[in-house]
Amino acid sequence: MMQTEQVWAEPWKIKVVEHLRMTTQEERQAAIAEAGYNTFLLPSRQVYIDLLTDSGTTAMSDVQWAGLMRGDEAYAGSANFERFERTVREYYGYKHVIPTHQGRGAEHILSRLCIRPGDIVPGNMYFTTTKLHQELAGGTFEDVIVAEAHNPDSEFPFKGNVDLRKLEHLIARVGAEKIPYLSLETNVNMAGGQPCSLENIHATCDLCHRHGIPVYLDATRAVENCYFIEQRESGQSGRPLAEILREICDRTDGCTMSAKKDALVNIGGFLALNDDALAEQARNTVVIYEGLHTYGGMAGRDMEALAIGIEESVDWQHQHARVGQVQYLGQRLIEAGVPIVRPIGGHGIFINAVDFLPHIPREEFPAQALTAALYIDSGVRAMERGAVSVGRDAAGKNIYPSLELIRLTIPRRVYTQAHMDVVVDSVARLHRRAEQIGGLRFTYEPRYLRFFQARFEPCQGTSVLREL
């Protein structure tokens, strides 16, 4: 097996290219104003390098594209479902597999079936859609991640870990009967793509199971987490990623999965469960919201590509190059003096907007302003992951989380090192002229998941990036 010290290269070559469109700064200035300074509202034809998300943005392999031709588009009992179900059972190990159109479809069903009004759902940091589905079902999310996760400068190697003391106190305070399950996210997205250790996963499952509390994995980036376990955890070096994945899944009671990340497809997801009765309810619920229990919102061809994607995702060389590209970008930004969350995570680089833009008060959303300025400077599209993403508390007040970040998310197998260099160049340039970036205020704020559709205007002047 190749060692990390060695130079890495992508374990693939390019067969098809998609042309990128270059724009002028004037065009981008107009486009972002038209988009209400929200990068989610930009048309993709106005974007040069798209680092909005690693979700559904993967380049599929030739084998996956060939798999599309084998789509069995029967309404019921598609052959592709059989292969997909078999593959999930083999790699993730759960007994029942319920297909959904994407991750939030699985979260919806799990939350709806398990959470009662007044319940508390602990998790290792929130994810936007996960938390909202818990709340819509009448629950309240409770963060039990380790304190290091909230500190962008802590070099702790497993910032995704559950704080067992916090979890124990929560169980003692509210009682196990008020906790329908613990939601355990692997390679925690909002913390910066930070892994959980195998040891912590075991300890968390032990604690929960002792109290009769099931543990459901958010397996969206579980394989990336396995790569970090293989690299960082003592005794795990050289272990096949598929073996580590099975060890994690075997300890937990089921998972929700957005297959648009690890599993290398553009759409798809699933809910997997071991409990027969719960699975039966889930199969009955999926037909209301997603589709029949043998397609759940996916076409037959999507399920075929997903099954192949799962097999490709556990390849060590693939993860080494995928995470390696993220590390390359992060390392170069660190060298340029840009404040980013450390250690460098698995799916993207998270810039600390509070340190980058110390002159912008939190009420003027520095991370949102930085995504807009970056787009104006170079056409690179990033995503806000700070106060706008968190939203408001029950009393209607804005929450200001300790992490006010912008995420440069790297799609899998899509961009080259040279693209990463363009990104570094632009971010470093903005860092040097940070005082020219101004804050934003809301002009429209939707009720749910506001970051997707909110609109803003500059607090001062006519642009978020002054003196162009």
- Binding positions for ligand F0G, rule: CB under 6 A: 53, 55, 102-104, 127, 129-130, 185, 189, 218, 220, 258, 260, 269
Name the catalytic one among 100, 128, 204, 252.
Answer: 128
- CB of residue 385 to ligand F0G, shortest distance in Å: 8
- Is residue 304 within 8 A of residue 84, CB to CB? The reply is yes
| Residue 107 vs 233, nearer CB to ligand F0G | 107
- CB of residue 165 to ligand F0G, shortest distance in Å: 24
- CB of residue 7 to ligand F0G, shortest distance in Å: 30
C-beta nearest to ligand F0G: residue:
103
Point out which residues pair with 351 in neighbouring strands: 340, 406
Name the catalytic one among 385, 412, 413, 450.
Answer: 385
Question: In the numeric block, which tokens belong to residue 450?
Answer: 């506001």
Rounded Cα gap, residues 451 and 391, in angstroms: 8
- CB of residue 181 to ligand F0G, shortest distance in Å: 15
Name the catalytic one among 48, 94, 365, 451.
Answer: 451
Dihedral of alpha carbons 344, 347, 349, 353, sign: negative
Closest CA to 444 of 30, 29, 38: 38
Name the catalytic one among 81, 84, 94, 127.
Answer: 127
CB count in 10 Å sphere of residue 433 = 13
355 to 188, 360, 395, 448: CA distances (angstroms): 22, 10, 29, 28
Position 369: which residue type?
A: A
Give yes or no: 261 in active site: yes
Position 436: which residue type?
A: Q
Give yes or no: 218 in active site: yes
Give yes or no: 456 in active site: no
Give yes or no: 127 in active site: yes
Rounded Cα gap, residues 429 and 350, in angstroms: 17
| Residue 184 vs 279, nearer CB to ligand F0G | 184
Give yes or no: 128 in active site: yes
- Is residue 358 within 8 A of residue 265, CB to CB? The reply is no
| Residue 105 vs 379, nearer CB to ligand F0G | 105
In 3-state terms, what secondary structure has residue 256?
strand
Q: What H or E segment, with its residue span, contains residue 450?
A: helix 450-453
Name the catalytic one among 218, 253, 262, 302.
Answer: 218
- CB of residue 68 to ligand F0G, shortest distance in Å: 19
| Residue 127 vs 365, nearer CB to ligand F0G | 127
- Is residue 406 within 8 A of residue 382, CB to CB? The reply is yes
Please report where in the chains the tokens 């007044």 appear, as a residue.
118
- CB of residue 435 to ligand F0G, shortest distance in Å: 30
In 3-state terms, what secondary structure has residue 120?
strand
Give yes or no: 385 in active site: yes
Exposure string (b/e) for 17-27, b if CB count within 10 Å is 16 or more?
eeeeeebeeee
382 CA to centre of own chain? 13
| Residue 112 vs 466, nearer CB to ligand F0G | 112
Question: In the numeric block, which tokens belong to residue 172?
Answer: 């003692």
Name the catalytic one among 28, 260, 261, 283.
Answer: 261
| Residue 85 vs 384, nearer CB to ligand F0G | 384
| Residue 37 vs 127, nearer CB to ligand F0G | 127
| Residue 348 vs 438, nearer CB to ligand F0G | 348
Name the catalytic one among 75, 444, 448, 452.
Answer: 75
What is the dihedral angle through the alpha carbons of 350, 355, 356, 357, rounded to the nearest 10 degrees?
A: 130
Angle at 332 between CA 328 and CA 334, to 5 degrees: 115
- CB of residue 249 to ligand F0G, shortest distance in Å: 16
Position 292: which residue type?
A: L
- CB of residue 264 to ligand F0G, shortest distance in Å: 13
Give yes or no: 40 in active site: no
Residues with catalytic function: 75, 127-128, 218, 261, 385, 451
